[in-house]
Amino acid sequence: MTHVEDELTSQPECWTRAATEAARHAGALPAPGERVAIVGCGTSYFMAQAVAALREGAGQGETDAFAASEFPLGRSYDRVVALTRSGTTTEVLDLLGQLKGRSRTTALTADPATPVTAAADEVVVLD
C-alpha cells in the first residue's frame, strides 16, 4: 500500500478513536451554549475555521475562528480552544499566556511533552 492508501484506510479507526476521546474529555471541550473561539496557525487555523462553522451550524453556540496572532483580545469568550499539532507554536503559546486567568483555555495537541501542556488550562492529547 502507498502512504495515501494507508491514510485513507485508517480513517474509520481514527474517527472511532476521536469519538471515544471526545467523550472521555467532555469536560475539557466546549459545552453547548458556550461562546467559543478556536485558534491555530497554518493548517490548524483552517481546521479551526471548519470546526467553528460546524459547531455554530449545529446550534451548539456562537463560535469564531482566528489565526492565533489575530485574536481580538478585547472580546470575551467562555472558552478558547487552541489547535496546535506540535504544541510549540509561538503565536499559540503567546496567546494562551495572555489569556491566562481571563478565559478558560483548552489545547488540542499531538505531543504530550510540549510547552502547550503547561500553557493551557486543559489539554487533550491526540498522539
Rounded to whole angstroms, the Cα distance separating 90 from 63 reads 23
Domain ranges of the chain: 30-125
Contacts for 3-11: CB closer than 8 Å, 24+ residues apart: none
> In the CATH scheme, what is the homologous superfamily, with its name and number, of domain 30-125?
Glucose-6-phosphate isomerase like protein; domain 1 (3.40.50.10490)
pLDDT at 44 exceeding the cut of 80: yes
Give the gyration radius of the chain's Cα atoms: 15
**CA–CA dist 83, 89 (Å, integer):** 10
Checking phi first, is residue 67 left (phi over 0); if not, alpha (psi -120 to 50) or beta? beta
Q: Under DSSP, is residue 93 helix (H, G, I), strand (E, B) or coil?
A: helix
In tens, the pLDDT along 48-66 reads 999 999 999 999 999 999 9
Question: Cell for 118?
Answer: 503547561
Give me the phi and psi of 37, to 5 degrees please: -115, 140
Q: Residues 57-103: pLDDT tens digits?
A: 999 999 999 999 999 999 999 999 999 999 999 999 999 999 999 99
pTM for the whole structure: 0.90
